Amino acid sequence: MGRANTSSVDTENGFKIAHLGKQQKLATLAQFEGKNSNDGEQVINANKKATLSASKAKAKRKAKLAKNSKKKNKK
């Protein structure tokens, strides 16, 4: 399958990056698919769990930065 590249700019690296991003996205989506792919409840719970853990990690990082900032400003 050839690409119609009529520009003089080399876009091969861009295609490689886009392909890698697509693979990572599909891999992430595949993690949420269980044996019962028609059961929506399982997918929703998996998404909630992943979102919750990500938000907890982000809140923990922000709290740590705030604590360090407060400690630095005290000096």
Could you read off the pLDDT of 16-64 as tens digits, one per residue? 899 999 998 888 888 776 555 556 566 677 777 778 888 889 999 999 9
The whole-number average pLDDT for the span 11-19 is 85
Query: Does residue 65 lie within any of the structural domains?
Result: yes
Range of the domain at 41: 12-74
In a domain? residue 2: no
Report residue 47 CA to chain centroid gap: 12
**pLDDT band at 66; cut points 50, 70, 90:** very high
Q: Which helix (H) or strand (E) holds 39?
A: none
5 within some domain: no
pTM: 0.37
Q: Is residue 46 part of a domain?
A: yes
In a domain, 27, yes or no: yes
Identify each DSSP E strand in 1-75 by its residue range.
none
pLDDT at 36 (0 to 100): 54
The answer as to whether 1 is a domain residue is no
Q: What is the pLDDT of residue 55?
A: 87
Domains in the chain: how many in total? Answer: 1
Residue 17 lies in a domain: yes
Residue 60 covered by a domain: yes
Give residue 65's pLDDT. 92
